[in-house]
């Protein structure tokens, strides 16, 4: 370990195996045989916990001098391996950068450390009459910096768009060790960092636009006979005046699993509509929801169910208890294609004798996320590896409907040609070379794929896996 770095960090840096191995995974469950085949070295050599940008800069200077890979990490609340090392090196645990500065009352902004978690931040702001504009469904653990490095869409994005659009400026430590404050108009701009998986720089502080605590709040659940009708109602509600703060959907398959867990659950496909605004706007929302339900054959469910589902918004992955493991695909599609998507998923399920469950978030008239999961068991390595091919089939369904995978990290690199156009990918690689010419920041992610995950080989492997899955299911 570098003496200067050790003196600076003191007890906040460690080479201890037990500490390092804790940073070797995220929410994804990947068999050791697959990590070995891909030559992934996911246990870092060193873990450091910076408390400010100067600490991060010192770590980057150390890495630059020794050619050491650096993996920035928040709470690692995703499953893409984007906050897990693939080439050992130094892991920077940024959760200690959790300070919250005073609200700028005039500008309507707050400045926070990149390690600040969303739910504690929102609770802190609400005590002062303010609230965050958007947040991820992993808000209890997800960090501000981590969500910037994802695509940054979640609860409230229907009203306020992506997180990066709310960023006034942010402090970034570059691969050179330079500390800079960047804005939407600087070079590089803040937009470069949205969804970049921590590959361009280490975000250490962020100034966000916030909102006043809404005067009124109301939640509705509307049950539909099918996903086509639900999609049409969602597009209608997302259009025009008096739009909701948030909308999400839950397929009937999701409620089937809820019932298996012993919970009461509604029937049909359900659209959750959430209004947070003035009392007048919420009253208008009530009328719009009633009209959309009537027009598209929906039934408004009791208020107690709507309130319960709103409280459940952070706990959708609790269905993992039935697993004991969950695999999934998360994609963007248009709300108007939801019915086609669900029909294709149902056909795939019948073919493979696999039960899927789906939920997601509507963030615009032409964009919604769909999370489609299926239960499996990572304790059975062979069947688990075969099951991984099903995720590829789900992404293909979304792709045929004009969609694409959400997020990149490591595991979605085989889908890069479907996520970005050739021109976009060339531009992203240019930015990487410009800001991190030695390729030290989070190498192995976002821009290239491991040899065994090259699109051609991966597609071939997925096809073979699907055949094995069908054979195992008796097809």
pLDDT of residue 315: 87
What is the pLDDT averaged over residues 95-116? 97
pLDDT of residue 53: 98
pLDDT of residue 471: 55
467 or 256: which leads in pLDDT: 256
Cα distance between residue 148 and residue 168, in whole Å: 13
Main-chain phi, psi angles of 409, to 5 degrees: 55, -130
Cα distance between residue 214 and residue 193, in whole Å: 30
Positions of E strands within 252-391: 269-277, 299-300, 325-333, 356-364, 367-376
Which positions ≥6 away from 277 have C-beta within 8 Å? 214, 215, 216, 245, 285
Cβ-count burial of 17 within 10 angstroms (0-12 exposed, 13-18 middle, 19+ buried)?
exposed
Sign of the CA dihedral with 276 first, then 311, 166, and 331 last: negative
104: β partners: 109
Q: What is the CATH number that goes with domain 3-94?
A: 3.30.43.10
Helix (H, G, I), strand (E, B) or coil at 349: helix
Cα distance between residue 102 and residue 117, in whole Å: 16
Does pLDDT of 432 surpass 70? yes
Report in angstroms the alpha-carbon separations of 329 from 31, 80, 211, 249, 413: 18, 11, 32, 16, 13
Does pLDDT of 1 surpass 70? no
248 token code pair? 């999400």
Cα distance between residue 428 and residue 162, in whole Å: 19
Which positions ≥6 away from 3 have C-beta within 8 Å? none
Examine residue 10 and say whether the peptide bond preceding it is cis (omega within 30 degrees of 0).
no
Whose CA is closest to 416, among 442, 453, 363? 453
Q: What are 301-306's contacts with CB under 8 Å, separation 24+? A: 301/220, 301/221, 301/222, 301/223, 301/266, 301/270, 303/219, 303/220, 305/221, 305/266, 306/219, 306/220, 306/221, 306/272
Helix (H, G, I), strand (E, B) or coil at 415: helix
Report in angstroms the alpha-carbon separations of 45 from 63, 90, 92: 12, 6, 11
Whose CA is closest to 313, among 375, 270, 342? 270
Does pLDDT of 475 surpass 60? no
Which positions ≥6 away from 234 have C-beta within 8 Å? 247, 249, 271, 335, 338, 362, 368
What is the pLDDT averaged over residues 260-278? 93
What is the pLDDT averaged over residues 106-110? 98
**Residue 385: band (very low, low, confident or very high) from pLDDT cuts 50, 70, 90:** confident
**Residue 461: band (very low, low, confident or very high) from pLDDT cuts 50, 70, 90:** low
pLDDT of residue 37: 84
What is the pLDDT averaged over residues 170-198? 98
pLDDT digits (tens, 9 = 90+) for 17-39: 999 999 999 988 777 888 888 89
| Pick from 17-31, 164-178, 221-235, 428-442: least confident | 17-31
Query: pLDDT above 70 covers what percent of the chain?
Result: 95
Provide the mean pLDDT of the chain: 92
- Cβ(475)–Cβ(352) below 8 Å: yes
Tokens 């294609």 belong to residue: 337
Which positions ≥6 away from 231 have C-beta within 8 Å? 335, 336, 337, 338, 339
Whose CA is closest to 151, among 426, 352, 446? 446
Radius of gyration of the chain (CA): 22
Cα distance between residue 74 and residue 146, in whole Å: 6
pLDDT of residue 276: 97
Which positions ≥6 away from 240 have C-beta within 8 Å? none
What is the pLDDT averaged over residues 127-150? 97
What is the pLDDT averaged over residues 53-69? 96
Domain boundaries, the chain: 3-94
């Amino acid at each position: 370990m570098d003496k200067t770095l050790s003196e600076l960090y003191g007890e906040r840096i460690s080479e201890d195996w037990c500490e390092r191995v804790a940073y070797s995974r995220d929410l994804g469950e990947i068999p050791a045989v697959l990590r070995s085949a891909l030559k992934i070295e996911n246990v870092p050599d060193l873990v450091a916990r910076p408390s400010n940008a100067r600490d991060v800069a010192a770590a980057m200077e150390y890495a630059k001098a020794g050619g050491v890979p650096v993996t920035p990490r928040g709470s690692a609340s995703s499953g893409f391996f984007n906050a897990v090392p693939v080439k050992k090196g130094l892991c920077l645990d940024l959760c200690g950068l959790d300070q919250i500065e005073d609200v700028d009352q005039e500008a309507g902004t707050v400045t926070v450390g990149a390690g600040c978690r969303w739910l504690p931040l929102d609770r802190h702001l609400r005590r002062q009459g303010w609230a965050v504009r958007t947040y991820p469904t992993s808000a209890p653990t997800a960090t501000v910096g981590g969500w910037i490095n994802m695509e940054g869409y979640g609860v409230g994005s229907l009203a306020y768009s992506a997180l990066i659009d709310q960023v006034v400026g942010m402090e970034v430590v570059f691969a050179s060790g330079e500390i800079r404050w960047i804005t939407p108009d600087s070079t590089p701009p803040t937009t470069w960092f949205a969804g970049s998986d921590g590959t361009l720089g280490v975000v250490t502080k962020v100034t966000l636009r916030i909102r006043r605590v809404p005067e009124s709040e109301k939640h509705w659940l509307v049950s539909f006979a099918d996903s086509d009708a639900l999609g049409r109602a969602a597009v209608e509600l997302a259009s025009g005046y008096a739009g909701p703060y948030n909308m999400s959907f839950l397929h009937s398959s999701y409620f089937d699993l809820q019932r298996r867990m012993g919970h009461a659950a509604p029937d049909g496909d359900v659209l959750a509509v959430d209004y947070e605004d003035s009392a007048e706007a919420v009253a208008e929302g009530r009328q719009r929801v009633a009209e959309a339900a009537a027009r598209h054959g929906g039934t408004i469910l009791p208020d107690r169910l709507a309130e319960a589902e709103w409280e459940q918004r952070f706990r959708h992955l609790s269905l993992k208890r039935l697993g004991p493991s969950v695999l999934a695909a998360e994609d963007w599609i248009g709300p108007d294609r939801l019915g086609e998507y669900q029909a294709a998923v149902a056909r795939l399920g019948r073919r493979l004798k696999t039960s899927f469950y789906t939920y997601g978030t509507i963030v615009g008239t032409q964009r919604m996320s769909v999370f489609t999961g299926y239960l499996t068991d990572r304790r059975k390595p062979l069947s688990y590896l075969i099951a991984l091919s099903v995720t590829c089939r789900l992404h293909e369904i979304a792709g045929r409907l004009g969609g694409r995978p959400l997020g990149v990290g490591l595991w979605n690199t085989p889908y890069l040609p479907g996520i970005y156009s050739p021109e976009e990918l060339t531009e992203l690689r240019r930015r990487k070379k410009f800001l991190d010419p030695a390729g030290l920041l989070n190498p192995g992610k976002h821009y290239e794929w491991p040899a065994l995950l090259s699109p051609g080989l991966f597609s071939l492997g997925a096809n073979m896996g699907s055949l094995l899955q069908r054979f195992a299911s008796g097809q």
